[in-house]
Amino acid sequence: MHSGLGNYGRAADGRRNKPKWSMRFERVLAMESDILKRALAGDVADLMAAYSEMLDLRLEMARMTTQCLTNMRAVLDSEQWEKMVLRYRALLES
């Protein structure tokens, strides 16, 4: 089962990380909701600690995303990379 987008073995590494990234995304959404609910009654120090924890998760997600893009750029040839970019842009526009 080859996607046509590069080295299958290295692409599999990214698929293993997708659930990890998605779990972090869901956690960030939950944290944002919790912070908004607590904001009016919450202690400023407590809220700032929650924001800091959420920022750490967002930074970890950003590192995972940039590592994924760097890996794809390394394993895809120019034509494959352009196909991926077009698909990604189409996804963003939908």
In Å, how far are 47, 52, 89 from 44, measured between CA atoms?
Answer: 5, 12, 39
The band of 58, judged by pLDDT with boundaries at 50, 70 and 90, is very high
The total domain count for the chain is 1
Is 2 among the domain residues?
no
pLDDT above 50 (res 75) = yes
Least Cα distance to 20 among 73, 60, 74, 69 occurs for 60
Least Cα distance to 68 among 87, 89, 84 occurs for 84
Residue 16: its pLDDT value, please? 67
Is 3 among the domain residues?
no
Cβ count within 10 A of residue 34: 13
The larger pLDDT score, comparing residue 18 to residue 39, is at 39
Sign of CA dihedral 45, 46, 48, 49: positive
Residue 6: its pLDDT value, please? 42
Domain that holds residue 37: 8-93
DSSP state of 41: T
